């Protein structure tokens, strides 16, 4: 299941990507995470009987999400950790974090 379809993902990347890119390093440094890298190759049908190959490299971070609201709160952000995205429940172990400047 895709949480974002292509158009919405593009809007988020163009509209909020710079903000996320500028905030993420500081947040991750504060959390002192263990980082691991996954290389992912995908094959997607192109609709004409052929396959399109894609490759992504993901830097993943394991964090104790219970620490996030207090950490961000000390920097003026009211954060909330959830196990769903909208009405969709996430797979076990995954969480979303949303926040607004307080």
pLDDT above 60 (res 9) = yes
Q: Residue 27: what pLDDT?
A: 75
For 54-68, what is each residue's pLDDT tens digit?
Answer: 888 888 877 888 888
Nearest alpha-carbon partner for 63 in 45, 81, 46, 42 = 81
Tokens representing 57 are: 């490299």
Residues in the chain: 102
Establish how many alpha carbons lie within 13 A of residue 73's alpha carbon, considering only the half-sphere containing its beta carbon: 9
Nearest alpha-carbon partner for 84 in 96, 72, 99, 75 = 96
Tokens representing 60 are: 């993943």
Q: Which residue has the higher pLDDT, 33 or 76?
A: 76
Q: Residue 69: what pLDDT?
A: 92
Domain ranges across the chain: 64-102
pTM: 0.47
Confidence of residue 5 (pLDDT cuts 50, 70, 90): low
């Amino acid at each position: 299941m895709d949480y974002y379809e292509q158009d919405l993902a593009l809007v988020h990347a163009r509209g909020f990507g710079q903000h996320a890119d500028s905030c993420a390093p500081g947040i991750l440094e504060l959390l002192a995470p263990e980082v691991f890298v996954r290389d992912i190759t995908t094959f997607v049908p192109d609709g004409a009987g052929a396959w399109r190959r894609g490759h992504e490299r993901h830097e993943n971070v394991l964090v104790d999400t219970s620490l996030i609201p207090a950490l961000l709160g000390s920097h003026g952000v009211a954060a909330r950790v959830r196990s769903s995205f909208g009405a969709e429940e996430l797979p076990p172990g995954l969480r979303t974090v949303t926040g607004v400047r307080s």
